[in-house]
Amino acid sequence: MFQATVPYTFRSILLLPIFENLFGHPPAVRTYCPGRIILMGDHLDYHDYGVITMTTHEGTQILAARNGRNEIRIVSKDPDEQ
């Protein structure tokens, strides 16, 4: 199993009940984007030079579904960001 899928699966399982409690139904879409660390060349990429990067287990998890309205509701799991 590719290790990058572990945080996605684990966090997705943790977020499903939170999403369902807030919105009353399961998400229609789940996606995960891993974080990125720049090892070398931080300012070189602005000049089209190579950069050495790697992903981390930290990232952004998004769960989404239609709500039947012309509005978007965004909720953060982090209590300091709600």
pLDDT tens column, 56-67: 878 888 899 998
The verdict on residue 14 lying in a domain is yes
The reply to whether 9 falls in a domain is: yes
- Model confidence at 1, pLDDT cuts 50, 70, 90, reads very low
Give the chain's domain count: 1
Structural domain including 57 reads: 5-76
What are the tens digits of pLDDT across the range 42-53? 777 677 778 888
Q: Is-contact 12 77, C-beta < 8 A?
A: no
75 pLDDT exceeds 50? yes
Could you tell me if residue 64 is inside a domain?
A: yes
- What is the amino acid identity at position 67? N
Whole-prediction pTM? 0.64
Q: Is residue 52 part of a domain?
A: yes
The CA–CA distances, whole Å, from 75 to 30, 43, 47, 68 equal 14, 33, 37, 17
